[in-house]
C-alpha cells in the first residue's frame, strides 16, 4: 500500500513535517520517500555527561509534525530522545505533534501481577502526554489494552496482514499441510487473524513461565504433526521461548517451523540461538533497525513503510484510517 499525495483536492491540517531520532533512521527515510517529502533537519547530539541535546533546524510553527522513533535498544536513550523532540516541537509552536512509535518499549509491564510492581506501559503513556504529544501511532502493542492508558488519540496498527503475504504463494488455503501456532494462550487472537488471512487452522502452545524470558512447553492444543508450523508472535526478544517452542514442535512431529513476529528485538545471543535452532525461517518487519551483525540468512525483514506513510497521509488530510486497521476495526 503506497501513499499517493496527489490524489486530487484535500484539506491539510497543516504542512506535513517528518522528524526522526536515531533509533531507526532508515525506516524514517523510507517513509519520507513514500510520502514524497524530505526529512526535517535536526541535530541530535550528546553532552559530555550523556545528556541529549536536540535542535530542530527548520521552522515548524503551525505545522503538522510527525516524529518517528521506535523506543528499542538502547531503550532509555531512544525514549528520552523522543520526549525531548516532542518538547522541542511543542515549544516551537507546532500545530500538531504526532509520535510515531513503531515499537513501544516498556510495554511488557502492563499490569501488576505481584505487590510493589510498576506499570511501565502506563508510565510511558503519561510521559508522552505530558511532553506534549497530541497523538500516538504505534504497531502491534504487546497488549492491546495499553491504548486505554492514553488520554490522547492512539492509532494502533498491526503488521499481521502484511506478514501473512509472505506465505501467500505457498501456504494459502492448504490446511492439510500448514498450521498457524500461537506460542501461548495470550496470543491466540493474533494467530487467529494471521490464520484467517491464509485460510489455515491454528494450534496453541500451553506453557508456563517460571521467570521472565524463561518458558517451558507443557502441551500443544491442536493438530500440527506432519505439517509446516508457522509460529506467530508480537516480538522475538531473547529467542529462548520461541526457539524452544519451535524445537518442541519439530521433535514432536512437525515437518518444519517458521517464526513470524512484528518486532525483531533480538537481545543478547538471540541470533545465535536462531541459527542453532531447527527453525527454517524468521520473518519480521523493520519496526526495529536490524544491525548488520544480526542479518543472517534465516531472517527475512519486511518493510512497514508503505503502511505508515499511508497512515500519516490520511491523518494529515483528515481522511479515514479505519481501512488500515486489521479487518477495518
Parallel, antiparallel, or unpaired for β 42-46 and 52-56?
antiparallel
Cα–Cα distance measured from residue 81 to residue 282, given in angstroms and rounded to the nearest whole number: 30
Q: Cell digits for 325? A: 486497521
Q: Check the annotation: does 233 bind a ligand.
A: yes
Annotated binding-site residue? 209: yes
Q: Residue 237 annotated as binding?
A: yes
Residue for grid cell 502506563: 122
Give 137's contacts (C-beta < 8 A, 6+ positions apart). 66, 98, 99, 100, 101, 154, 155, 157, 308, 311, 312, 315
142 is in an annotated binding site: yes
Q: Are 149 and 121 in contact (CB under 8 A)?
A: yes
For residue 106 the three cell numbers come to 516498556
* Residue 329 annotated as binding site: no
CA 181/CA 223 separation, integer angstroms: 10
Annotated binding residue 108: yes
- R_g over Cα of the chain: 20
Q: What is the distance between the alpha carbons of residues 173 and 79, in angstroms, rounded to a whole number?
A: 42
Annotated binding-site residue? 134: no
Active site residue 207: yes
Give 257-270 as a DSSP string.
Answer: EEEEEEEE---TTH
Please check if 51 is assigned to a binding site: yes
Catalytic residue among 17, 63, 207, 227: 207
Q: For 149, which DSSP code?
A: G
The answer to the question of whether 110 is labelled as a binding residue is no
Cell of 273: 540461538
From the CB of residue 181, how many other CB atoms can be counted at a distance below 10 Å? 31
Q: Is 291 annotated as a binding residue?
A: no
132 assigned ligand-binding residue: no
184 known member of a binding site:
yes
Binding site as annotated, residues for D-ribose 5-phosphate: 209, 233, 237-241
Residues annotated as catalytic (active site), given as ranges: 207
In the annotated binding site, the residues are 49-51, 108-109, 142, 184, 209, 233, 237-241
Amino acid at each position: 500500500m503506497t501513499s499517493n499525495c496527489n490524489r486530487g483536492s484535500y484539506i491539510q491540517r497543516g504542512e506535513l513535517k517528518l522528524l526522526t531520532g536515531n533509533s531507526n533512521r532508515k525506516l524514517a527515510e523510507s517513509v519520507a520517500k513514500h510520502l514524497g517529502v524530505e526529512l526535517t533537519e535536526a541535530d541530535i547530539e550528546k553532552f559530555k555527561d550523556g545528556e541529549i541535546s536536540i535542535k530542530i533546524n527548520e521552522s515548524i510553527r503551525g505545522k503538522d509534525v510527525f516524529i518517528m522513533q521506535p523506543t528499542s535498544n538502547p531503550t532509555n536513550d531512544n525514549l528520552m530522545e523522543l520526549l525531548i523532540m516532542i518538547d522541542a516541537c511543542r515549544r516551537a509552536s507546532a500545530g500538531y505533534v504526532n509520535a510515531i512509535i513503531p515499537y513501544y518499549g516498556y510495554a511488557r509491564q502492563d499490569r501488576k501481577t505481584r505487590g510493589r510492581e510498576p506499570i511501565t506501559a502506563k508510565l510511558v503513556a503519561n510521559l508522552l502526554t505530558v511532553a506534549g504529544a497530541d497523538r500516538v501511532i504505534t504497531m502491534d502493542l504487546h497488549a492491546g489494552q495499553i491504548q486505554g492508558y492514553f488520554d490522547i488519540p492512539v492509532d494502533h496498527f498491526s503488521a499481521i496482514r502484511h506478514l501473512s503475504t509472505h506465505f501467500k504463494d505457498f501456504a494459502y488455503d492448504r490446511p492439510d499441510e500448514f498450521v498457524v501456532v500461537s506460542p501461548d494462550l495470550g496470543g491466540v487472537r493474533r494467530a487467529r487473524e494471521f490464520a484467517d488471512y491464509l485460510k489455515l487452522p491454528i494450534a496453541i502452545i500451553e506453557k508456563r513461565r517460571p521467570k521472565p524470558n524463561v518458558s517451558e512447553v507443557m502441551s500443544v492444543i491442536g493438530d500440527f504433526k506432519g505439517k509446516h508450523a508457522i509460529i506467530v508472535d508480537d516480538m522475538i526478544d531473547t529467542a529462548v521461548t520461541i526457539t524452544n517452542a519451535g524445537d518442541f514442535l519439530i521433535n514432536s512431529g512437525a515437518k518444519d517451523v517458521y517464526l513470524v513476529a512484528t518486532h525483531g528485538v533480538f537481545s543478547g545471543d538471540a541470533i545465535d540461538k536462531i541459527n542453532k535452532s531447527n527453525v527454517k525461517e524468521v520473518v519480521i518487519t523493520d519496526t526495529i533497525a536490524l544491525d548488520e551483525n544480526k542479518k543472517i540468512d534465516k531472517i527475512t525483514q519486511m518493510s512497514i513503510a508503505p503502511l505508515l506513510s499511508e497512515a500519516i497521509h490520511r491523518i494529515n488530510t483528515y481522511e479515514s484510517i479505519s481501512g488500515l486497521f486489521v479487518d477495518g476495526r
